[in-house]
Amino acid sequence: MSKHMNKTELNYLKILADKYPTIAAASTEIINLQSILNLPKGTEHFMTDIHGEYEQFNHVLKNGSGSIKRKIDEEFGNTLSVKDKKSLATLIYYPKEKLDIVLKEEDNIEDWYKITLHRLVQITKRVASKYTRSKVRKALPEDFAYVIEELITEKAEVQDKEAYYNEIIHTIIRIGRAPDFIVALSNLIQRLVIDHLHIVGDIFDRGPGPHVIMDTLRNYHSVDIQWGNHDVVWMGAAAGHMACIATVLRMSVRYGNLDTIEEGYGINLVPLVTFCLDTYKDVYCDVFNTPVNNDYDARYLSLNNMMHKAITIIQFKLEGQIIKKYPEWEMQDRLLLDKIDIKKGTVNIKGKEYPMLDTEFPTIDWKDPYRLSDAEEEMMLRLRHAFMRSEKLQQHVRFLYSKGSMYKIFNSNLLYHGCVPLDENGEFKKVILFDKTYSGKSLYDVLESYARKGFYGEDNDAECIRGKDILWYIWTNPNSPVFGKEKMATFERYFVEDKATHKEKKNKYYDLLDDEETINKIIREFGLDERVSHVVNGHVPVEQKKGESPIKCGGKLLVIDGGFSKAYQGKTGIAGYTLVYNSHGMWIAAHEPFESKDAAIRKETDIVSDSFVVESSSIRLRVADTDTGYEIREQICELEDLLEAYKDGVLVEKS
C-alpha cells in the first residue's frame, strides 16, 4: 500500500503518473480495463507445416479456417441463399479480384453495390462486437475510418436509423468510392475475425513460395512462430553456416524451387552453375533427376541434375566436418563418404555392404573425403556472401527471430514443432551440449539461446561459431526437439536402393502420444496445469486415410500437421489441419486440397473442410480467462495503487 511502499514502487508509480496524471484519468482507465476483461476471448488461429504452399496458406488465412463462413451463417441464417453466401464469402476473401469480375458481368451495378455494402456492414458489426471500440478503431483503414465507425456504431440519438445508414451508403456509391470501400470492409473483416495467429513451424522448403508467406506474416497484425527444423536450416543459411546453405540449396533444387532462391531472395546462383559446367558436365547424374515444372525447366534439366548432385556431395562433406568436430553429438553413423568402397561400388552402413546407385564423384579425395576441393570452397564462399547479403532473406530471418522461438506458452497452451525428446523409458532424454547436460524444457532453452548467438553474435566469437553449428544441430540431430528421428537418411535415399536403409526411426515421444502420464509430465515440465492445458504440435503428418486422428490423449495433445505440402498429401489423404480456439472452445478443420486462387475467385470454390470440436465451453470464455486478462488485472492493481497514492497525498495530481 502507498504508506508502506518502497522507493522502487514509488518511482514506478511516478512513471505511471506521467501517463495518468489525475484521479479521473486513472479511474477512467480502470473502468476501461475492467470492461475489456468481460469481453469474449479473441479467436486464435493455429497453422503448421505450410512448406511454401503460399496459395493454400493465403486462402486458409483469409477464410480463418471457415470462421468467416460461420459469421455469414450466424448473421444471415436462411435469409440468404447458399449461392449468395458463397459469393459474399469469396468477395471478403478476394475483394479486388472479385470486384473486377463483378464490374464486367453485373448489369445493375448500383443495386449490387447497395445490397453488398449493407451485407458487409452487417458482417463487420458482428465481427467487431467482441472488441472494444478503441481496438476496432485502431484496426480501421485510415481512408474510411470515420465512415466505417459511423456505420457500425449504434446511434441512440438518430430516430430513423435506416434512413441515416442508407444515406451514408448512397453517398459512398454516388461519389464513386464503393469499390474502395468494399475492399476496405473486406480486409477489415479478415483482420477482425482472427485476433492472433500461431504458426507452429515449417514455413520453408518443398513448396514454391515461402518468401511470399513470410511477406504476408510480416504484415499480419498479431502473430507468433514456433521454429520448425526447415525454418532453422534457413536461419542457419542466413547466418552464413556453410552446411545449412548447402542443405537449403539441395532442398530447393530437389523440389524444383530455385526460383525462391534466385527471384524470391535475389541470390545469384551463377557461381554454382559455373562450377557445375566446369566439374560435372560429363558426369553421370541420373540419380539426381529433378522435377520438371514447365518447358523452361525441361531445357535445363541436365544442368539442374548437375547442380543437384554437386550441392548434395558438398552438403555431405560439410556435415561430415561438423560431425567430426563434435563427436559428443553422436552422429558418427552419418559419416558415410569414408565408408564407400569405390572399386567395389558399395557402401558400408552399420556393418553391411550395399551396392551404390552412383559411384562417379569427381570432387571427392578418397584420402580425405570430407575436404572441399579448392573449386568447391571458392564457390561456397561466394554463395555464403550472397546469402548473408540478401536483404530480403535477412529481413525474413530477423522476423523469425523477433516473432519466433523454440516453443511458446500462450493462454495455458504449449506450442512446439516436433517433440520433447524422451529416452526408451519415456523419461526426458539427457543430452550433453558443450560439457553440460540438459533435458526437457532446459534443452529447448539452451538451444534457443545458442540459435540467437549464432545469428546475432560476432562472426569470430567462439560462442557465435557454436551458435551457428547449433542451428545445423537443431535441423538434423536425433536429440533436436524439432527433428526427433534417429537420422536424416538423405544419403541412403540417393544412393542405396534397399528401402530398409531409408527408414528414419522416430523418437520414443511418438509412441507415447496417447499416454496421459507422459503428456501431463510434459505439460508440468513447462510450468502449466495439466487439468486445463493442451499441447499443440506440428512436424509429423497425421495420416487421416489410415484412420489416424489429430486429437491425441483425450484432447490434451493436438497434432495439426495434416499435409499442407503437396508432397505429403498422397500420404495423409488431406491437405492440412488447422486449429481454431475461440470463446466457445476449440475446433479442428481438416482441409481438402486447394485447387487454385483463380478457381476460388472465378468458380467461388472454397476449401472444403470437415470441422470437429475438440473442446467446447458451456460458459463463453472471456478476456479475463486469457494471458491478456492476467496482464490487465496486474495493470488494474497498479492503477489502484496509483489512485491510493493520489488520495493519500503521496503523489500530487497534475493539472
Query: Band of the pLDDT at 573, cuts 50, 70, 90?
Result: very low
| pLDDT at residue 448, as a whole number | 98
Q: What is the distance between the alpha carbons of residues 426 and 430, in angstroms, rounded to a whole number? A: 12
Mean per-residue pLDDT for 323-341?
A: 96
Is residue 556 predicted with pLDDT exceeding 70?
Answer: yes
| pLDDT at residue 287, as a whole number | 94
| In a domain? residue 541 | no
Q: Where are the alpha helices (DSSP H) in 5-80?
A: 7-19, 23-37, 54-63, 67-76
Largest CA distance in the chain: 94
Strands 413-417 vs 534-538: parallel, antiparallel or unpaired: parallel
Query: Dihedral angle at the C-alpha atoms of 275, 208, 227, 449, nearest 10 degrees?
Result: 30
Do 153 and 254 have their domain in common? no
Mean per-residue pLDDT for 279-286?
A: 93
- Quickly count: other Cβ atoms within 10 Å of residue 401's Cβ: 17
pLDDT digits (tens, 9 = 90+) for 302-312: 899 999 999 99
254, three cell numbers: 530437389
| In a domain? residue 293 | yes
| pLDDT at residue 460, as a whole number | 84
Pick from 348, 361, 380: nearest CA to 247: 380
Do 12 and 93 have their domain in common? no
Look at 151-165, 448-462, 479-493, 631-645 and tell me which has the smallest mean pLDDT: 151-165
| pLDDT at residue 332, as a whole number | 96
pLDDT digits (tens, 9 = 90+) for 112-125: 999 999 999 999 99
Do 144 and 272 have their domain in common? no
- Most confident of the ranges 4-8, 422-426, 613-617: 422-426
Do 23 and 148 have their domain in common? no
63, three cell numbers: 477464410
Q: Where are the alpha helices (DSSP H) in 404-485?
A: 441-456, 462-476
Three-state SS at 574: coil
Is residue 646 predicted with pLDDT exceeding 90?
Answer: yes
| pLDDT at residue 471, as a whole number | 98
Do 307 and 442 have their domain in common? yes
| pLDDT at residue 485, as a whole number | 95
| In a domain? residue 525 | no
Mean per-residue pLDDT for 68-84?
A: 91
| In a domain? residue 533 | no
Q: Of 453, 476, 499, which closes a domain?
A: 476
| In a domain? residue 334 | yes
Distance of CA 51 to the CA centre of its chain: 9
Do 290 and 427 have their domain in common? yes
Q: What is the distance between the alpha carbons of residues 549 and 592, in angstroms, rounded to a whole number? A: 16
Q: Which residues, at least 6 apart from 586, have a Cβ–Cβ distance to it below 8 Å?
A: 534, 558, 579, 580, 613, 614, 615, 616
| pLDDT at residue 571, as a whole number | 54
More confident residue, 315 or 564: 315
Q: Supply the pTM of this predicted model.
A: 0.91
Q: Which residues, at least 6 apart from 449, have a Cβ–Cβ distance to it below 8 Å?
A: none
pLDDT digits (tens, 9 = 90+) for 487-505: 999 999 999 999 999 999 9
Query: Dihedral angle at the C-alpha atoms of 434, 438, 440, 442, nearest 10 degrees?
Result: -80
DSSP 228: P
| pLDDT at residue 572, as a whole number | 47
| In a domain? residue 506 | no
Query: Band of the pLDDT at 588, cuts 50, 70, 90?
Result: confident
Do 374 and 276 have their domain in common? yes
Do 162 and 257 have their domain in common? no
Residue 205 sits at φ, ψ, to 5 deg, of: 75, 150
Pick from 170, 465, 123, 130: nearest CA to 322: 465
Do 283 and 384 have their domain in common? yes
Query: Taking all residues of the chain, what is their mean pLDDT, rounded to a whole number?
Result: 90
Is residue 292 predicted with pLDDT exceeding 90?
Answer: no
| pLDDT at residue 157, as a whole number | 65
Q: What is the distance between the alpha carbons of residues 478 and 485, in angstroms, rounded to a whole number? A: 5
**What are the E-state strand segments in 419-567?**
431-433, 436-438, 534-538, 551-552, 557-559
Q: Of 432, 454, 476, which closes a domain?
A: 476
Mean per-residue pLDDT for 518-523?
A: 97
Do 317 and 386 have their domain in common? yes
Look at 53-62, 120-129, 140-149, 150-159 and tell me which has the smallest mean pLDDT: 150-159
More confident residue, 60 or 571: 60
Is residue 586 predicted with pLDDT exceeding 50?
Answer: yes
Query: Band of the pLDDT at 133, cuts 50, 70, 90?
Result: confident
Residues in the chain: 655
Query: Band of the pLDDT at 158, cuts 50, 70, 90?
Result: low
Pick from 387, 376, 381: nearest CA to 275: 376
| In a domain? residue 612 | no
pLDDT digits (tens, 9 = 90+) for 342-376: 999 999 999 999 999 999 999 999 999 999 999 99
| pLDDT at residue 1, as a whole number | 46
Which residue range forms the structural domain that includes residue 233?
Answer: 228-405+420-476
Is residue 182 predicted with pLDDT exceeding 70?
Answer: yes
Do 80 and 142 have their domain in common? yes
- DSSP per-residue string spanning 193-226: H-SEEEE-S--SSSSS-HHHHHHHHHT-SSEEEE
Q: Of 149, 178, 193, which closes a domain?
A: 193
Is residue 225 predicted with pLDDT exceeding 70?
Answer: yes
pLDDT digits (tens, 9 = 90+) for 594-645: 777 787 788 777 666 667 677 787 788 999 999 999 999 999 999 999 999 9
354, three cell numbers: 550395399
Strands 407-410 vs 577-582: parallel, antiparallel or unpaired: unpaired
| pLDDT at residue 475, as a whole number | 97
Count the domains in the chain.
3
Q: What is the distance between the alpha carbons of residues 198 and 47, in angstroms, rounded to a whole number? A: 6
Q: What is the distance between the alpha carbons of residues 560 and 417, in angstroms, rounded to a whole number? A: 10
| In a domain? residue 564 | no
More confident residue, 592 or 216: 216
Do 152 and 281 have their domain in common? no
